[in-house]
Amino acid sequence: MNGSKLAVIALLLTLLVFPVVIVYANVPTVISITRRTDSGKILIDVKVSHTDPTSAHYISQITLDLDGATKTFTDITKATTTEATYTLNIGATNPKTIKAQATCIIHGPSAWYAEGGTTGSTGGSSGMPAYPLEAIILGAILSVATLLLIKKW
């Protein structure tokens, strides 16, 4: 193959990768954790921010790390606002440390957030990347075009 053919192939392969750049859209964020007692039970209020919740895009679970032991709550109400507070009953246990993580059904889990306002060791963005439908279609078209060009040469 000559240099111009290799340049075209390199350009086409670059275009294949370009539309699938990872974008962390709508990953939830835990804003605060507050503990309180009610009738001998420890209740944990986890305030979460999550952009554009809908009936098809929502927080499906909250996971608590209680002194290193995790407990996942899946029977939570679907939020209809950008900020929501979830009240979780952990029984009579009163842990020394509490961390929380919210999980979106589409974009995955947030970073861990510790009671007192610090992010856990995972820090930063996490979760599944969001791929727009247009990028998937364009990537498929460019893949087929590239394969046809390579086969033709």
Query: Residue 11 sits in which domain range?
Result: 3-22+133-152
Sign for the pseudo-dihedral over CA of 114, 71, 25, 12: positive
Is 56 in the same domain as 109? Answer: yes
Is 39 in the same domain as 110? Answer: yes
| Cα distance between residue 83 and residue 45, in whole Å | 13
pLDDT tens digit string along 10-26?
666 666 665 555 555 67
- Residue 63: strand, helix, or coil: strand
pLDDT tens digit string along 95-122?
999 999 999 998 889 999 999 876 554 4
Lowest mean pLDDT among 64-73, 78-87, 99-108, 135-144: 135-144
Is 14 in the same domain as 36? Answer: no
**Once rounded to an integer, what is the mean pLDDT over residues 117-133?**
51
